[in-house]
Amino acid sequence: MVVAGHPPPPGFAAQANVGPEVYAEAAADPFAFWAEQAGRLRWDRPWDTVFGDAQWPTARWFGGGRLNVAVNCVDRHVDAGHGDRVAMHWEGEPGDRRTVTYAQLQDDVCRLAHGLTELGIGAGDRVVLYLPVLVQTVVATMACARIGAVVSLVFGGFSADALRFRVADTGAKLLIASDGQFRRGRAVGVKAAADEAVAGLDHVEHVLVVRRTGETDVPWTPGRDVWWHELLAGQSTQHEAASFDAEHPLFIVYTSGTTGRPKGLVHTTGGYLTHASWTHWAVFDLKPDDVYWCQADLAWVTAHTYVLYGPLSNGATQVVYEGSPLTPHPGRHFEVIERYRVSTYYTAPTLVRTFMKHGPELPAGHDLSSLRLLGSVGEAINPEAWRWLHEHVGGGRCPVVDTWWQSETGAAVVAPLPGVTTTKPGSATVPLPGMSATVVDDAGVETPPGVEGNLVITAPWPGMARTVWGDHDRFVSSYWAPYAAQGWYLAGDSASRDEDGYIWIGGRIDDVLNISGHRLSSIELESALVSHPRVAEAAVVGAPDDVTGQRIVAFVITRDAPGADDTGLAAELRAHVAARVGAVAKPREVVVVTDLPKTRSGKIMRRLVADLTAGRAGGDTTSLTDPAALGVVQRAWTAHVEARPGGG
Ligand code: ATP
Ligand code: MG
């Protein structure tokens, strides 16, 4: 496949934080490279060794070093004279706004640090946050880091059951929740769900409650429940921060659950912050006058690294937006970009496809001239969506950084440097400086250009997760056992490399299709479908087939008006995919649906769709954003099967 590249615009390259020499410098001595980046942080005690295996595969980075993450993310900037710099332009879903400077952030973090101590929270204790995207949510993560408590953020839209699993799994001593939250323009109570989640869990000593929606009948357990504003009232804004070992746990983040029961990945202090901080500065080319906006919910790993720890460690000014991107209208994000003169917008493919459904008029109605850099994460971005983002949001002038990484990797692994790397729509490009990743077959041999294999990381990196909380065996067996002989990390994603060594993510290994011995990537087929003018979204799965092993079934959401005639669409799409990818990739069956099952972070859950076509049921659905979507697909599939010649 020959793909036209987009070299960095010369003006951008000339001012970029990082130049081309960094790749070679880092490759010559990756440990020295990461040590240099660690030097960007404030250490209370320098490290003795850059890297050491504690006990493989658990790595130790910056052993002997001590630091405080909150001091690095907040105090350091105030001490440097930037106390008046805006840390956050926060905007609530209903339109309420708050501007928070680094000095104000420091005051609140210190007050809450005292409050947490008063509630009996100390270093190593777990604190679960079940909050919307609020200033208080950011304050809570920093206050926990300040006193060495381990934080775990749970998406505010999760059910009581999903929350309970995470509270119990972490053995949390404190839950921080809100009275209510805004969901697509409506205030709903959430304290009752928080109560349900912690009922009978004796390790939870307190529930700290942030007032957000002003609910009137907040259920209350005296002695256990505490109001945030009452706890903070009268606390001192002076707080002496202790320093913690570089390997002290910082947070536990649960994977989005695309492939099964979520795993609680444990990230630590010095290595993680080094990786988060440097990649944020380099990949997003952060400048002091940037207004940076990563639109991920704070509970996702994306926001841990590229809203909380990365940007704050770099003293960034960012937009933090509470609500749904489509409330009260689908152009809300563009309105926000225009209002705050956002320069860097980091988004997700699912949202780009949603914008595309509305057409280029949506961004065109806003002044987006402040933008200078765009980013994408969460899934492979379909080339069609990349081009749309580049042209209709970025006005053709902004580099697009497609960043491949995972909860497990802590920060970006495969991504372009915007002033250096020529980008290709749909590829996350090449491993970042200091990172080693490649594509191999099951035996560990690099696959030739264009051939699908397994994406592996072949050398240790500072942001890597250290374990799965409470289940180290699962950490070893999921990621390290398959290539134990080589000591490589198995990412769980399929990929291929092109002639230039660019990495193209093909989807989850479990989602790779095997058609008469041909390995095909689900993403490549979906991108081919999405490039058809009538298709808005697609999920491609392999259904069991007696003859070919698997047959390709494509579920598509069309851009047609509701109730439009689908006759002929299947034939049109088959021909389109054959022309784009090849005859072997033609979907045998095309099923038109109005919705697809997605995780809360917007990833299509192909596993559940594949289960339907195979007649299996009962997969883990706790991460679904809308369980009804599965019913929609089920009904469409049943109708499709019944309508097939011979039925059933
Ligand atoms: P689980 O591991 O429970 O199935 P998950 O993998 O969806 O959940 P995350 O760690 O949040 O949870 O997501 C990481 C995954 O997202 C990657 O393994 C990859 O499949 C996908 N991904 C993220 N960014 C990109 C990208 N830029 N290009 C392609 N895929 C991406
Ligand atoms: Mg995963």
Rounded to 5, what percent of the chain is helix, strand, coil? 35, 25, 45
In a domain, 618, yes or no: yes
Report pLDDT digits (tens) over 589-606. 999 999 999 988 889 999
Confidence of residue 567 (pLDDT cuts 50, 70, 90): confident
Distance CA 115, CA 256 (A): 31
CB 78 within 8 A of CB 106: yes
In the reported structure, the alpha carbon of residue 151 is separated from the centroid of ligand 1 by a whole-number distance in angstroms of: 21
Q: Is the CB of residue 403 below 6 angstroms from any atom belonging to ligand 1?
A: yes
Distance CA 288, CA 514 (A): 49
Q: Is the CB of residue 478 below 6 angstroms from any atom belonging to ligand 1?
A: no
Has residue 92 got a pLDDT over 90? yes
The tokens describing 210, both together, are 């942030």
Distance CA 378, CA 397 (A): 23
Instruction: Name which residue sits closest to atom 28 of ligand 1, judged by CA.
Output: 380
CA distances from 112 to 133, 207, 408, 646 (A): 17, 14, 29, 67
Looking at residues 155-166, what average pLDDT do you find? 92
DSSP 359-427: -THHHHTS--TT--EEEE-SSPPPHHHHHHIIIIITTTTS-EEE-B--TTTSS-SB---TTTPPB-TT-
In the reported structure, the alpha carbon of residue 406 is separated from the centroid of ligand 1 by a whole-number distance in angstroms of: 5
Report the alpha-carbon angle 243-299-265, nearest 5.
Answer: 65
CB 349 within 8 A of CB 426: no
Distance CA 273, CA 253 (A): 15
Distance CA 558, CA 94 (A): 31
Distance CA 401, CA 415 (A): 6
Taking each helix axis from N to C end, the angle separating 569-580 and 522-530, rounded to the nearest 10 degrees, works out to 120
Q: Is the CB of residue 379 below 6 angstroms from any atom belonging to ligand 1?
A: yes
In the reported structure, the alpha carbon of residue 478 is separated from the centroid of ligand 2 by a whole-number distance in angstroms of: 10
In a domain, 111, yes or no: no
Report pLDDT digits (tens) over 635-647. 999 999 999 876 6
Residue among 175, 179, 178, 185 at smallest CA distance from 216:
179
Report pLDDT digits (tens) over 440-491. 999 999 999 999 999 999 999 999 999 999 999 999 999 999 999 999 999 9
Q: Is the CB of residue 166 below 6 angstroms from any atom belonging to ligand 1?
A: no
Q: Is the CB of residue 402 below 6 angstroms from any atom belonging to ligand 1?
A: yes
Has residue 566 got a pLDDT over 90? no
Question: How would you classify the pairing of strands 264-268 and 467-468?
Answer: antiparallel
CA distances from 41 to 206, 240, 272, 314, 326 (A): 34, 18, 12, 9, 38
Q: Is the CB of residue 407 below 6 angstroms from any atom belonging to ligand 1?
A: yes
Give, for ligand 1, the residue of 381, 400, 404 to mutate: max count of ligand atoms closer than 8 Å to Cβ.
404
Ligand nearest to the CA of 261: 1
In a domain, 480, yes or no: no
CA distances from 602 to 197, 325, 345 (A): 24, 12, 17
Q: Is the CB of residue 350 below 6 angstroms from any atom belonging to ligand 1?
A: no
Residue 537, domain extent = 512-647
**What share of the chain has pLDDT > 70, as a percent?**
99
In the reported structure, the alpha carbon of residue 266 is separated from the centroid of ligand 2 by a whole-number distance in angstroms of: 14
Distance CA 478, CA 480 (A): 6
In a domain, 49, yes or no: no
Residues 6+ apart with CB under 8 A from 418: 8, 12, 16, 283, 284, 285, 373, 399, 401
In a domain, 570, yes or no: yes
Confidence of residue 3 (pLDDT cuts 50, 70, 90): low
Distance CA 230, CA 16 (A): 46
Has residue 528 got a pLDDT over 70? yes
Tell me, yes or no, if the pTM score tops 0.85: yes
Looking at residues 420-427, what average pLDDT do you find? 98
DSSP 525-549: HHHHHHTSTTEEEEEEEEEEETTTE
In a domain, 593, yes or no: yes
Instruction: Name which residue sits closest to atom 5 of ligand 1, judged by CA.
Output: 256
Looking at residues 259-284, what average pLDDT do you find? 95
Q: Which atom of ligand 1 is nearest to the CA of 381?
A: 28
Looking at residues 273-298, what average pLDDT do you find? 98
Has residue 31 got a pLDDT over 70? yes
Distance CA 575, CA 381 (A): 23
In the reported structure, the alpha carbon of residue 488 is separated from the centroid of ligand 2 by a whole-number distance in angstroms of: 16
Q: Which atom of ligand 1 is nearest to the CA of 402?
A: 27
**What share of the chain has pLDDT > 90, as a percent?**
89
Can you give the CATH number for the domain in which 643 is found? Answer: 3.30.300.30
Ligand nearest to the CA of 253: 1
CB 379 within 8 A of CB 349: yes
Domain count along the chain = 1
Residues 6+ apart with CB under 8 A from 383: 3, 425, 426, 527, 531
Q: Which atom of ligand 1 is nearest to the CA of 407?
A: 10
Confidence of residue 118 (pLDDT cuts 50, 70, 90): very high
Report the alpha-carbon angle 538-373-601, nearest 5.
Answer: 40
Q: Is the CB of residue 377 below 6 angstroms from any atom belonging to ligand 1?
A: yes
Looking at residues 560-577, what average pLDDT do you find? 91
In a domain, 453, yes or no: no
Confidence of residue 2 (pLDDT cuts 50, 70, 90): low
Torsion of CA 623, 620, 267, 91, to 10 degrees: 0
Has residue 618 got a pLDDT over 80? no
Q: Which atom of ligand 1 is nearest to the CA of 302?
A: 11
The tokens describing 107, both together, are 């005051």
In the reported structure, the alpha carbon of residue 325 is separated from the centroid of ligand 1 by a whole-number distance in angstroms of: 21
Phi, psi of 291 (to 5 degrees): -115, 105
Q: Is the CB of residue 142 below 6 angstroms from any atom belonging to ligand 1?
A: no
Looking at residues 391-399, what average pLDDT do you find? 98
Give, for ligand 1, the residue of 256, 346, 468 to mutate: max count of ligand atoms closer than 8 Å to Cβ.
256
In the reported structure, the alpha carbon of residue 425 is separated from the centroid of ligand 1 by a whole-number distance in angstroms of: 18
Quote the pLDDT of residue 647: 63
Has residue 560 got a pLDDT over 90? no
Instruction: Name which residue sits closest to atom 17 of ligand 1, judged by CA.
Output: 406
Residue among 572, 509, 503, 569 at smallest CA distance from 542:
509
Ligand nearest to the CA of 603: 1
C-alpha 254 chain-centroid distance: 11
In the reported structure, the alpha carbon of residue 252 is separated from the centroid of ligand 2 by a whole-number distance in angstroms of: 15
In the reported structure, the alpha carbon of residue 44 is separated from the centroid of ligand 1 by a whole-number distance in angstroms of: 35
Residues 6+ apart with CB under 8 A from 615: none
Q: Is the CB of residue 603 below 6 angstroms from any atom belonging to ligand 1?
A: yes
The tokens describing 554, both together, are 């494509």
In the reported structure, the alpha carbon of residue 492 is separated from the centroid of ligand 1 by a whole-number distance in angstroms of: 9
In the reported structure, the alpha carbon of residue 32 is separated from the centroid of ligand 2 by a whole-number distance in angstroms of: 29
Report pLDDT digits (tens) over 187-227. 999 999 999 999 999 999 999 999 999 999 999 999 999 99
In the reported structure, the alpha carbon of residue 445 is separated from the centroid of ligand 1 by a whole-number distance in angstroms of: 24
Q: Is the CB of residue 296 below 6 angstroms from any atom belonging to ligand 1?
A: no
> 38 by DSSP, 3-state: which?
helix
Question: How would you classify the pairing of strands 344-347 and 373-376?
Answer: parallel
Q: Which atom of ligand 1 is nearest to the CA of 258?
A: 4
In a domain, 213, yes or no: no
Looking at residues 327-352, what average pLDDT do you find? 97
Phi, psi of 587 (to 5 degrees): -65, 130
Place of tokens 């264009």: 450
Distance CA 270, CA 249 (A): 10
Q: Which atom of ligand 1 is nearest to the CA of 428?
A: 27
Phi, psi of 358 (to 5 degrees): -80, -15
> 70 by DSSP, 3-state: which?
helix
CA distances from 322 to 97, 102, 261 (A): 10, 19, 27
Report pLDDT digits (tens) over 224-258. 999 999 999 999 999 999 999 999 999 999 998 77
Average pLDDT, rounded, for the chain: 95
Instruction: Name which residue sits closest to atom 24 of ligand 1, judged by CA.
Output: 378
In the reported structure, the alpha carbon of residue 510 is separated from the centroid of ligand 1 by a whole-number distance in angstroms of: 13
Report pLDDT digits (tens) over 170-189. 999 999 999 999 988 899 99
Distance CA 574, CA 553 (A): 11
DSSP for residue 72 = I
